[in-house]
Amino acid sequence: MKNSVIKFSFLSMAAVVAFSSCRKDEDAPPTTTPDPTTVNLEISHMAGANALTFNTNYTDGFGNVFTITRADMYVNGFTLVDDVDTVLFEDNNHYLLKPTVTSVSFGEIAATHVHALSFNVGVDTTLNLTVDPTTQPAGSALGVQSPSMYWSWSSGYRFVVIEGNADRNADGVAETPYQFHIGMNALYRRVELHVHTDMTANTANMIHMEIDYLRFFDGIDMSLASSSTHTMDNMMLATQFINNVDSVFSVHTH
């Protein structure tokens, strides 16, 4: 009799577990995948509140007049993540941004909440010292550029190039050429921008990124003859310049 009771209890418990499992499966909400959507990055090249214009007089934080005549930079590693850092989109291509480049297509992602956009300024630290631009296909961002974005095999690519003229004699005229040619792996930087927006399904979504080139010059006195660098000849200034990158970029959506 004792064995019968034990056997009955075991069978009863098994039935309860099976019933509970059955109910759990029936009650669980169906797994859904967000509808796909497309996302494009729209880029505005700015100088403060206005569009960047070459050969226009701008003023640094010390009241000195300077102009910009060239503005090129490499970016790569675009990544979109949601609120729990799940990667929604990742692009390992390199892009050469300049004022004529106004958009980058991210393609299709799941229509969900986008928390942040991040990317690197510069050329991937491995490729920087191993890729020869002359071996790259025509049209490649890492191929031969004119004007050049490359030093040599020993120094690699110029990550950011901004050139122009600066007032060095306090007469209000930007007469003296300057160059900021920023490169080398030590000056490779990651930028993260908070997006905080929901992507709409089955439509083209736009993330609008502004590049304010004047912010590169924060804290730099353009009246000084030393306010020009090819990185290796003035690493301190090159580091100061590239460390301003976090304030150069901003985003909003529409």
pLDDT, tens digit (0-9, with 9 covering 90-100), for 207-243? 999 999 999 999 999 999 999 999 999 999 999 999 9
Structure tokens at 43: 């880029």
pLDDT tens-digit readout, 134-145: 999 999 999 999
CA–CA distance, 232 with 158 (Å, rounded to integer)? 11
Number of Cβ within 10 Å of residue 190's Cβ equals 13
> What would the mean pLDDT of 146-170 be, rounded to a whole number?
95
Task: Provide DSSP, 137-167.
Answer: PTT-TTS--SS--EEETTTEEEEEEEEEEE-
What lies within 8 Å, CB to CB, of 245 at 6+ separation is 121, 189, 191, 216
pTM of the shown model: 0.85
pLDDT tens-digit readout, 120-129: 999 999 999 9
